[in-house]
Chains A and B, each alone.
Chain A
Amino acid sequence: MAKIELTRSLFVKNTLKSRYPQLAVFIVMLIVYIFAILAGLIGTPVGSHNFSIVFVWIAWWAILILIAVPFFGRGWCAVCPIPLPGEWLQRGAVLSPPDKRPKWLNLRVPKMFRNIWLQNISFLLLALFSSVLLTTPNITGIVLAAMLFAAIGLSTVFERRAFCRYLCPVGGFIGLYSQTAPIELRIKDKQVCVKCEGKPCYNGSQAGYGCPWDVFPGGLTKNTYCGLCMECIRTCPHDNIAVNLRPFSADLAKPSTRMDEAFKAFIMLGSAMIYASVLLGPWGTLKDAAYNVGSSAWFVYTFVFLTIIFGILPGFFTLGLLQTKDSTPLKQRFASLSTALIPLGLMFWVAFSLSFVLTNASYILAALSDPLGLGWNLFGTANAAWQPMLTSILAPAQTLALVGGLIWSARTAQKAANEVKVSSIPVIVYCFIVTSIMLWLLL
C-alpha cells in the first residue's frame, strides 16, 4: 500500500496549520484535566464513583489504548493538556508569534538524560503503585497534579517540551507503539530541507515555534519522538511537511538499535502480563501484595515485578538469541530483535484493556451525572446500575487481538532478523510462549 498524503486536502492542511482548532481542543482538555485533579482531591473516595478514576482510568485509557495509539500513534500527544501551562509560560505567549528571547533558563537537557530511560523509570514507578493509583481518587489527583507541575517546572528550566520528551510515563510507551500506527508526519523532499536556510522547523520563525519535541523533521524516519504538534507544518516556508496515511507498522521495517527502547518493549510486555495477573486474576494474595504499598508483601511483589521485567523476560529472550550463531554483537541483536515485541506488547495491552474497560464502562454513566460523588444527578444517570458489557464477545476478541499480535510480531521478527542477518525462529518461539501465557491469564 502506498502512502496517501492527507495534507493534500486543503481542508486538512488549513485545519492543521491554524492554531485555533488545536487551541480549542487544548482548552477543553485542560479544563477536563483540572476537573479530574479537583475531583480526585475533593470528590468521593469511592473510586468507581469518582470522575478522576472513571474518566482517567476507564474512559481515557480505553480511548488511548484501543483507538488513539493503534490508529493515530502520538495523536493523544497532539492534544494532551499536560505541557500547555508550562509551554505558555516558557513562551510568554499562548498564540502570538515567537519572540527569540528566551523567557526562562532555556537550558539544553543534559546529554545523559536524552533517552527514554527516565520515561522507563517513571512508568515503572507508576506501575508499581498502580493498584493504589487506579483505585484511589486522591492519589490519582495528586499524580495528575504532579505531572502538570513537573511539566511546568521543566519548561522553566529546560528548552522545549523536556517533560514530554524525556519524563512523561505515558509518552514513552505511546512513542514506542506509535511506530505501528498508520499515520506519520514526514518531509516530502529531503533536498528541500538540505537547502533550507535557518531550518525554521527546528529553530522557529515568525510563523511559529521551533519543534517543541526537539526533533529536526528533515531527519524523521520514525514516529517515536514526533509529538504531532504540527508546529513544523506552520513554520516550513517550503510547504515540505506532510501528514501521510501509510501501512501499519511501517516504522518497524528499520529496527531500533537503542537499549532504552528495547527495554521499553520488555517493560510494556511484562507490565501487561503482570497487570492481567494482579487485576484480572483470581489470586487475592497477589492483589493484597500489590495494594498494600510499603508492606513486606509489597516489597516482595516489587522484587518479583522488576525481576520479571529486567531479568526473566529479557533473560529468556537473550537465551533464544544465543541459539543463533552470528557475528553481529549480541547487544545489537538484542536491541534490533526486541522490535518484534512492539506489536505484541500493544496487542497485549489491547486484550487486557478490553476486559478491564468492558467490565467497568458502565460506571461512566453514573460518574457523568455525579462526578464528585456528592449526590448530584446532572443527566439522570447517577443511579445507572453496574453491568458488564459485551461479555459474550470478550474472549473471542481477546484471542483475535493476541493471535493477531503474534502474527504481526512474527512478521516483524522476520524483517528485523533479516536486517541483522540472523534466524527469526527463536524470537517467534519466544513470542508464542509469552502469548500462550497471556492467553492463559486472560481466558
Chain B
Amino acid sequence: MNPRFSLLLFVMTGLVVAFAPLPVPSLTPQARTFRIDARQYAYSPSELNVNPGDTVTIQLVSADVVHGLYVDGYDVSVEADPGQTATLTFVADKPGSFRFRCNVTCGAMHPFMIGRITVGTNNWLFRSIGLAALAVVSVVISIKPKA
C-alpha cells in the first residue's frame, strides 16, 4: 500500500477514534449527595461516580485543619473549617473524569490532596487507549519484512 495513503488512513481512523460521537444512555437525572471527610492529605471517599445531568451535592467535613474542594473542569469550590460541614451543589453536565483537589493551603502535601469524580463514562480514557492501539497497529503494519 502507498505509504502516504496508509498514513492518511491511520490519521483519519485516529480522528474517528478520538472524536466520533458516542450514543449517550438516556438516564433520568437524579439528586445525589456525598459526604466527604477531608483530612491531611486525603478525601474519603476519594472517588465519586455520577451520571451526566445529576445534581451533585457534596458535604465537605474537615477533620483537622481548613480544607477546600475545587473541582477541575467545573471551576466550583467550597471550603470547610475544622469540625464544620460546608456544602457545594452543582449540576454534573460535563461528562468525563475530573480531579477535585484541596484549594486551601493545608500543609506540606496540600498540592497533592486529590480526589476524582467521574461523570458518566470516562470516554476520553477509552478513546486514548484506542488511539494507542491504533498507533501500535500502524507501526507494526509498517514493519518491513527482513530481506
Contacts and interface: CB of A to CB of B under 8 A. Distances in A.
Contacts of A403: 128, 131-132, 135
Interface in B89-132: 96-97, 99, 101, 103, 105, 108-116, 122, 124-125, 127-129, 131-132
A439 interface: yes
B108 A291 contact: yes
Interface stretch (B20-28, B41-49, B53-61, B80-88): B41-49
A406 to B, nearest CB: 5
A135 B113 CA distance: 12
A48 B109 CA distance: 9
Nearest to B41: A287
Interface residues of B, number: 39
A428 B46 contact: no
B141 to A, nearest CB: 11
Contact of B108 (A132, A280, A360, A443): A132
A282 B116 contact: yes
B140 interface: yes
A284 B44 contact: yes
A380 to B, nearest CB: 20
B140 A425 contact: yes
A366 to B, nearest CB: 11
A399 B41 CA distance: 28
A440 B125 contact: yes
B136 A410 contact: yes
A281 B110 contact: no
B128 A443 contact: yes
Contact of A432 (B44, B46, B132): B132
Interface in A280-322: 280-285, 287-288, 291
Given A284-B43, A287-B112, A407 B125 contact: no
A403 B131 CA distance: 7
A414 B108 CA distance: 44
A439 B132 contact: yes
A407 B139 contact: yes
B135 A135 contact: no
A47 interface: yes
Interface residues of A, number: 46
A439 B101 CA distance: 20
A313 B53 CA distance: 41
A399 B124 contact: yes
B15 to A, nearest CB: 13
Contacts of B131: 399, 403
B73 interface: yes
Nearest to A284: B42
Contact of A282 (B47, B103, B108): B47
A281 B103 CA distance: 16
A424 B146 CA distance: 12
Given A386-B103, A391-B72, A424-B143, A282 B46 contact: yes
A360 B128 contact: no
Contact of A288 (B42, B103, B105): B42
B13 to A, nearest CB: 13
Given A49-B105, A359-B101, A439-B129, A282 B136 contact: no
A49 B108 CA distance: 11
B76 interface: no
15 contacts: A282-B47, A282-B99, A282-B114, A284-B43, A284-B46, A291-B108, A391-B72, A392-B73, A395-B96, A395-B124, A410-B136, A410-B139, A410-B140, A414-B139, A436-B129
Interface of B: 41-44, 46-47, 70, 72-73, 96-97, 99, 101, 103, 105, 108-116, 122, 124-125, 127-129, 131-133, 135-136, 138-140, 143
The 9 A-B pairs with the shortest beta carbon distances in the complex, nearest first, are: A284-B42, A282-B46, A410-B139, A135-B108, A399-B128, A443-B125, A282-B116, A282-B115, A279-B112
